[in-house]
């Protein structure tokens, strides 16, 4: 389902007509977008998050420095983020909740 969501986001940016399953919208609404700081390698950031005890948080690349973060359980990513802001700010900037109006920018370093 996560690959499907990323594909949907890309298609939205390209102005293609897409229909959404309610289940996908509910799942996506629990995710968050962010930018990786310092061009860190995403698998290393993912491992540091797991090592800190957040083994249910997943980081998916969106292109460039942009990533999608979501929880593998029923948790809301923004709730998890707000509980550990200082930790997540070591790796990410501009963390914000997902919305249907989200822009897809794949340029590195912007």
Would residue 27 count as lying in a domain?
yes
Does residue 50 belong to any structural domain of this protein?
Answer: yes
Could you report the per-residue pLDDT of 47-71, keeping only the tens digit for each?
999 999 999 999 999 888 999 999 9
Average pLDDT of the segment spanning 79-93: 94
CA–CA dist 34, 5 (Å, integer): 16
Domain around 30: 2-97
Is residue 109 in a domain?
no
Judge whether 102 lies within some domain. no
Q: What are the residues facing 1 on neighbouring strands?
A: none
* Number of residues that make up the chain: 110
- Confidence at residue 101, expressed as pLDDT on a 0 to 100 scale: 64
pTM for the predicted model, two decimal places = 0.69
**Cα dist. 60→16, 19, 20, 97 in Å?**
22, 22, 20, 15
Looking at residue 10, which CATH number applies to its domain? Answer: 3.30.70
Q: What are 3-50's pLDDT values in tens digits?
A: 666 666 666 666 555 566 677 777 777 889 999 998 889 999 999 999
Based on the structure, what is the number of domains in the chain? 1
């Amino acid at each position: 389902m996560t690959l499907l969501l990323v594909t949907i986001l890309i298609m939205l940016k390209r102005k293609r007509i897409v229909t959404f399953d309610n289940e996908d919208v509910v799942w996506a609404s629990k995710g968050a977008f962010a930018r990786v700081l310092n061009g860190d390698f995403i698998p290393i950031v993912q491992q540091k998050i797991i090592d800190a005890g957040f083994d249910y948080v997943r980081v998916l690349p969106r292109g460039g420095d942009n990533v999608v973060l979501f929880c593998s359980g029923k948790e809301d990513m923004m709730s998890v983020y707000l509980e550990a802001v200082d930790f997540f700010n070591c790796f990410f900037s501009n963390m914000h909740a997902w919305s249907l109006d989200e822009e897809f920018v794949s340029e590195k370093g912007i």
